[in-house]
Structure 1
Amino acid sequence: MAHWYMLLMCSVLVFCTAVRSALPADVAIISSSDILPYTTCREGIQEYLAEYTITATTINEDISKGREALEDIKREKPKVVIAIGPQAAFALAQEPALGNSRLFCMILNPQRVLAKAGLFSGVSLNIPPDMQMRTIKQAFANRKRVGIFYSKDPNQEIVDALTRAATAYDLVVVPLPIGSAQEIPGLLSSRETPFDVLLIIPDEKLGSTKIVEYLIKESLRRNLPVVGYNSWFAKNGAVLSFIIDYRGIGRQTGAIARRMLNGSLLDTVTVVPPEHVKISIDVKTAEKIGVAVSPDILKQADEVQR
């Protein structure tokens, strides 16, 4: 009897699994590629929405492939479609019929990236300007001038926002617009560097590792602390680094998706910054260049290198 009961239970389990896999997905995820930040973000989404049926597709940064994938997704009629990364989001932006069932995540400056295709709601990679300036003030209490090298066309709005945020903390942003990376040595060659802290922001003119390494080296040679925007900087000489939690972005996106699945559709386009940004402090580098880091920021830091 026990033997037949076990067979019956196994049959029921197989049947339920088959029915579940045959059901249309509640959520469809389309990823730009399988790089680690995107897969980590996707895992965060899947963890947060574990009770829902989810499908996942990767388009290998091919927007045309993304359009093809979205044709299949539309036939499945999921309640929410999530794009991870710019290529997937660009393809999804061209599907206005999906309306407010769309979400994006893992995009820097989405208002600019998706401007032509059509902006929709999601979670950006932009670290809030207020957080950056507040943390710089807390870390380097005796320093006031924050230098920023940047390309004027794509990043002027970002620098303007940082400039506004700085005033609340008695800081002054020293904007250093450049047309090319070749202009940087000239701006650094003066006897008196016009800033006390160098904040490096994501910028196409500073996209080369060689250029960023040069900036860090020259700043440290002048005993100036560098502030970076990811874990690479934390390992390569930045005294202060902001590190975005990609799994956290996935969970944050998942939380928005869950509200949508429960019937709270987004009536207006809403773009929010990442909620989970870690702070890394390199005390060893700070001591080497004679820069004092406040004890308060060391207590707040998620990571302290000594």
Structure 2
Amino acid sequence: MKCLDLFIYRGAFCLGLMLCTSLGLCLFQPPCLADGSSNGNDRIAVVISKKIKPYIQVGDGIQAKSEEIKLDVDLFILDPETKSIQDNVLHQLALTDYKLIAAIGPEAAVFIWAITSIQSPKIYTAILDPENCTGLPEHAMGIALKIPVEIQVKEISRHFENLGTIGVLFDPTFNQDFYDQAEAAALNHSFEITPIKVGSKTQISQQLQEHIGKIDAIWMIPDQTVISEKIVHYVIKQGIYQGMGVIGYNSFFTLSGAVFSFEFDYKALGSQAALKIKSFLESGQWTPDPPLFKTIVNQRMAKKLGIIVKK
């Protein structure tokens, strides 16, 4: 399966496991009432790909919001490498007539869409690139962990003053389309976008050196070639040496010295998913929405570099 979800990129950044008991999860036996009813609420199933912190937090957010909006939720944790657990989850899903089955993460999404014997509507969340997720149908509904490029450019413009040129570090094999969209979106703002193209990790140092003096900031995006803990630290250090800020896409970047990053509140994403599910069950219509996100400014580093970044 070739699903490029955000947590693959973040795996090198020490995303630890959380105990499933922190959610009080009903892993295998749905807590239905004795007569099989569910207090008159809609009952949904939520299948979590694996026990990593962001997925668990999304599930926590779905569960918490569902209590407010009168959805009954049964949560299951899938172990993609253990067939007996997968079989058990499949058996439990078949026991209850769920109004909807939701997947958190790519493994769970592929798992639920492969179940042809269950006709309940299905949705996904916490997948970065559903279009390239093998096993996920084109018509699949859900919330991708993908902030539209034009929105990212708008947020960068809103926060930064006096930026002339931003260099985007990326491998064209994976992110040429992202760059093209960013370049086009920047035409409506006060700065320019320029490419820092690399085809391998070994080209990063040379390409950065070639762009020193030509750019005012470095924008790092999720990219298979240029994303690792070691590379992030290296790029940020080079930026600091040259008085350039780095823009990243999660808290690891700001903690490592980037001046700005886009970040997800995974529990809030779960709440967003629960509200979308409730709306879909009531209307039968699914309207795609961008994921909720927040922006983080590292004012200490911005001040050190002499960069004006508005909150």
> Which residue matches 2:33?
19
Indicate if the aligned counterparts of 2:98 and 2:120 stay in contact, CA closer than 8 A.
Answer: no
Distance 1:278 1:236, change over 3 A: same
Instruction: State the distance in 1 between where 2:212 and 2:174 align.
Output: 28
Indicate if the aligned counterparts of 1:101 and 1:260 stay in contact, CA closer than 8 A.
Answer: no
Instruction: State the distance in 1 between where 2:294 and 2:237 align.
Output: 24
Say yes or no: does 1:172 pair with 2:192. Answer: yes
Pairs within 5 Å for 1:257-272: 257-262=277-282, 264-266=283-285, 271-272=288-289
Say yes or no: does 1:241 pair with 2:257. Answer: no
Which one of the candidate residues 39, 43, 54 is aligned to 1:37? Answer: 54
Instruction: State the distance in 1 between where 2:52 and 2:152 align.
Output: 26
Say yes or no: does 1:118 pair with 2:134. Answer: no
Instruction: Show structure 1 runs of 5+ residues with no match.
Output: 1-16, 299-306
> Which residue matches 1:304?
none
Instruction: State the distance in 2 between where 1:123 and 1:18 align.
Output: 28
Higher helix share: 1
> Which residue matches 1:7?
none
Instruction: State the distance in 2 between where 1:63 and 1:176 align.
Output: 42
Higher Rg of the two aligned structures: 1
C-alpha displacement at 1:200, in angstroms? Answer: 0.9
Instruction: State the distance in 1 between where 2:186 and 2:86 align.
Output: 40
C-alpha displacement at 1:167, in angstroms? Answer: 1.6
> Which residue matches 1:10?
none
Identical-pair percentage: 27
> Which residue matches 1:4?
none
C-alpha displacement at 1:220, in angstroms? Answer: 1.4
When normalised by structure 1's length, the TM-score is 0.81
C-alpha displacement at 1:69, in angstroms? Answer: 2.4
Q: Given residue 252 of structure 1, which amino acid in structure 2 is its aligned partner?
A: Q
SS at match of 2:45: strand
C-alpha displacement at 1:227, in angstroms? Answer: 0.8
Instruction: Show structure 2 runs of 5+ residues with no match.
Output: 1-30
> Which residue matches 1:88?
108
SS at match of 1:211: helix
Q: Given residue 155 of structure 1, which amino acid in structure 2 is its aligned partner?
A: N
Instruction: State the distance in 1 between where 2:200 and 2:86 align.
Output: 33
C-alpha displacement at 1:286, in angstroms? Answer: 1.1
Of the structure 1 ranges 188-197 and 31-40, higher mean CA displacement relative to structure 2 is found in 188-197
C-alpha displacement at 1:48, in angstroms? Answer: 1.6
Q: How many residues align?
A: 274
Distance 1:232 1:91, change over 3 A: same
C-alpha displacement at 1:31, in angstroms? Answer: 0.4
Which one of the candidate residues 97, 100, 104 is aligned to 2:124? Answer: 104
Distance 1:185 1:168, change over 3 A: same
1:18-50 CA-to-partner distances (Å, cap 9, x unmatched) read: 726844771001001121111111111111211
The CA RMSD over aligned residues, in Å, is 2.4
Say yes or no: does 1:56 pair with 2:70. Answer: no
> Which residue matches 2:297?
281
Pairs within 5 Å for 1:86-235: 86-95=106-115, 101-114=121-134, 116-119=135-138, 120-190=140-210, 192-235=212-255
Instruction: State the distance in 2 between where 1:70 and 1:157 align.
Output: 38
C-alpha displacement at 1:97, in angstroms? Answer: 5.9
Indicate if the aligned counterparts of 2:198 and 2:207 stay in contact, CA closer than 8 A.
Answer: no
Indicate if the aligned counterparts of 1:148 and 1:198 stay in contact, CA closer than 8 A.
Answer: yes
Q: Which runs of 4+ in 1 moved over 6 A?
A: none
Indicate if the aligned counterparts of 1:174 and 1:194 stay in contact, CA closer than 8 A.
Answer: no
Indicate if the aligned counterparts of 2:197 and 2:207 stay in contact, CA closer than 8 A.
Answer: no
Distance 1:226 1:75, change over 3 A: same
Of the structure 1 ranges 19-28 and 192-201, higher mean CA displacement relative to structure 2 is found in 19-28
Instruction: State the distance in 2 between where 1:85 and 1:169 align.
Output: 34
Of the structure 1 ranges 173-182 and 102-111, higher mean CA displacement relative to structure 2 is found in 173-182
C-alpha displacement at 1:191, in angstroms? Answer: 7.0
C-alpha displacement at 1:63, in angstroms? Answer: 8.4
